[in-house]
Amino acid sequence: MARMNALVIGNSNYDNGGNLKNPINDANDIARVLADGGFNVTRITDASFREMKRGIKDLEKAANDGGEVSLFFFAGHGVEVDGENYLIATDTEADDKTDVEVGALSLSEVIKRLEPDDEAMRTNIIILDACRDNPFERKWRGKLRGLAPVYAPRGTLVAFATSPGQFAADGRGRNGEYTAALLRHIEEPDLPIEAMFKRVRNTLGAATKQRQISWEHTSLAGEFYFNISVAASIDNYSVASIKDKIFVLDDSKFSHRAIRALKTLNWYTQNPAVDGLTVEKLNKMAADNLFVLGRNILQAASGSANSAAEFIIGFRERTTGSKAEKRKALLDGMLFEIFFDSDGELRKNPKTNFFNEVFDLEQFEEFKESFDFIAGALSNNARHLFAVPGKGRTVTVDVQIEDENVVSGIYVGGKNYLSHEEDELGFGGDGKKAIYKARSRDVFESQLSQQMLVPSRLLNIVYSGKKEGPMTLKMPLDAKIGRP
Beta-strand relationship, 407-412 and 395-401:
antiparallel
Residue type, 16: N
Residue 429's pLDDT is what? 47
Q: Right CATH number for 4-228 from 3.30.310.10, 3.40.50.1460, 3.40.50.720, 1.10.10.60?
A: 3.40.50.1460
Cβ atoms of 340 and 346 within 8 Å: the answer is yes
* Pairing mode of beta strands 156-160, 123-129: parallel
pLDDT attached to residue 100? 86
For residue range 99-128, what is the model confidence (pLDDT) as tens digits? 888 999 999 999 999 998 777 788 999 999
| pLDDT at position 423 | 44
- DSSP characters for 124-153? EEEEEE--SS-TTTTT--S----PPP----
Q: Return the H-helix or E-strand segment holding 311.
A: helix 306-313
Higher pLDDT, 17 or 397: 397
Interatomic CA distance for residues 263 and 26, integer angstroms: 45
Report the alpha-carbon angle 79-84-85, nearest 5. 35
Strands (E), 32-122: 40-45, 69-75, 78-81, 84-87, 105-106
Element (H, E) at 296: helix 287-302
Contact in structure between 294 and 330 (CB atoms under 8 Å): yes
What does the mean pLDDT of the chain come to?
90
Sheet holding 395-401, edge to edge: 415-416, 407-412, 395-401, 459-465
Q: Report the pLDDT value the prediction gives residue 117, as an integer from 0 to 100.
A: 78
Alpha helices of 438-481 — where are they, by DSSP H?
441-452
Rounded CA-CA distance 124/152 in Å is 10
Task: Give the mean model confidence (pLDDT) for residues 140-148.
Answer: 54
Given a contact cutoff of 8 angstroms between Cβ atoms, the answer to whether 123 and 224 are in contact is yes
The pLDDT, as a whole number, for residue 107 is: 94
In tens, the pLDDT along 398-450 reads 999 988 888 989 999 999 999 876 544 344 444 455 688 888 999 999 999 99
Domain range annotation of the chain: 4-228, 235-380, 395-481
Q: What is the pLDDT of residue 303?
A: 96
Task: State the pLDDT at residue 425.
Answer: 39
d(CA 470, CA 455): 24
143 pLDDT exceeds 50? no
pLDDT band at residue 379 using 50, 70 and 90 as cut-offs: confident
Q: Whole-angstrom Cα distance, residue 102 to residue 136?
A: 15
**What's the one-letter identity of residue 320?**
T
Q: What is the pLDDT of residues 311-344, one digit of tens each?
A: 999 999 999 999 999 999 999 999 999 999 999 9
Q: Compute the average pLDDT of residues 234-242.
A: 93
Q: What is the pLDDT of residues 218-236, one digit of tens each?
A: 999 888 999 988 888 898 9
